[in-house]
Structure 1
Amino acid sequence: MGTSLQAINNISPGRNLDAYMQSVATIPVLSVEEERSLADRLYFDGDVEAARQLVMSHLRFVVHVAKSYSGYGLPLGDLIQEGNVGLMKAVKRFDPTMGVRLVSFAVHWIKAEMHEFILRNWRIVKVATTKAQRKLFFNLRSRKKGLGWMTNDEVNAIAEDLGVDAKVVRQMEGRMASVDTAFDAPESDDDEQAWAPVHYLEDKSADPGMMLEDSNWEEDSQRRLMSAITDLDERSRDILSRRWLQDDKATLHELAAEYNVSAERIRQLEKNAMKKLRVAMEA
């Protein structure tokens, strides 16, 4: 792993994206034992080197998640960088005593950072995304006679010349006329002239009371869940973990063979354990 880690330190997604993705793909995936050892060193001893190795070994997963957001028209390198920030936050907060793999915990932090980046940067209205739309866009700009909306005769003439439907021409005209508006007001000395949606849309999530209540509810729910899982017998905990919390989920038949019982018995144990968790969460 040493050579791969040294190579990745010299590049970033913003410099050479292809080289970056090739480099992270060469970093070996950690085994369960290796990940647990590193996580323990970080969690109990504050080992910074262990944290670095945990981050490096999961960079390929960030790339995988970032590719699923390619449809938003934002640079893949920027999405990867934001996801890496989420990965580092996850590694810092990861508790190995919970009995789950780091990737299952980190995916929420990685996606949260990417979502935030998309909300800040995504242009809601795309003027032209296909080759045909780009052709219409440039032709329409050169043929418009003024700044106002075109008449029906003008629309029909352009549609006939370009071999498209008049409705398509109208749609493109609307896209060209639209602009994105920031949710927050721009900085200005004249607040009365600074229009923005933030002045008219109520943001209930900003209520300090609601935020505190939600935070307390989440903390209480997590506490109850962890307590309920701890109260389960070792076999039930193992079944739930391997059936629900791991990426490579075990089948009923695999667990049945390990515990020398029937698959139906494993299903019953799983069902009973889930029932105990629900009761604890609803109490």
Structure 2
Amino acid sequence: MTMTTALAPRDPWSVVPSLGNLDAYIRSVQSIPMLEAEEEQALARRLRDQQDLQAASRLVLSHLRLVVSISRQYLGYGLPQGDLIQEGNVGLMKAVKRFDPDQGVRLVSYAMHWIKAEIHEYILKNWRLVKVATTKAQRKLFFNLRSLKHQFKGEADDAHVGRAALSEADIHRVAAELDVRPEDVIEMETRMAGGDVALESPTNDDGDAPMAPMAYLADEVHEPTRVIEAARRDWLASDGITHALGTLDDRSRRIVEERWLKVNDDGSGGMTLHELAADYGVSAERIRQIEVAAMKKMRKALAEVVEA
């Protein structure tokens, strides 16, 4: 079956439900068949040469399942899959717009880069208020460290698999694999996992135990620099957030609070982009734009106070 017979010619997007019902959306896009190479080429040329938006819609629709598949790779970062899919769809549309049918590659191969790039950018902006990756090397580490850890531990013995942190050998293997310094791997591992260190070593049956960190760690609680840093962190986490929220209009403030600060009794977060969009009578993309602008304004307000 081709897209010609599977989709209604007047409104091809009518076959895809809203992302507000994620399960229905995924079932729907999985049922849309991929295009044959010849049809893909013909549609891409119609888009390039005639700016045919109907052809663009069919190219995008036939690859929505690819976005869903890629989005599953990033569920471990704690962001809603619906939001990951929406960002991936933006990347897919960018790929369709730039796709050249005369380059000899299929759209599925070309679009993967654009989809991942858009999802990566979204995760880096929203995973934490403080960015964990700013340089190209840090981004590469951020998005590959988890999978490489799992891969290396799977190759190790049973005792190694149970360890929470990377061994020294694993650190050097990751560094070599990603062409970064071992120090960078250690820093990113600490940022992402916050690995714990046992202060007291377990004793054996004879009551003997090696010297543990508790025996020689210095008390740095009252060290002046740490006191200042701790006070600044505490302010940013409480009064600072309140101050930054105060710079927003009512709608922007509510969107930020619902999306990032609200926690329900069952542990779930606040409203999704689509729920807020329905509440305000605008598109989910408009809500996302307001959210991005609000977060930018908050960061600027916090930076001005910190630098003052």
CA radius of gyration, larger in: 1
Structure with higher RCO (Cα < 8 A, 6+ apart): 1
State the TM bucket, normalised to the shorter chain. Answer: 0.3 to 0.5
Q: TM-score, length-normalised on structure 2?
A: 0.42
Q: TM-score, normalised by structure 1?
A: 0.45
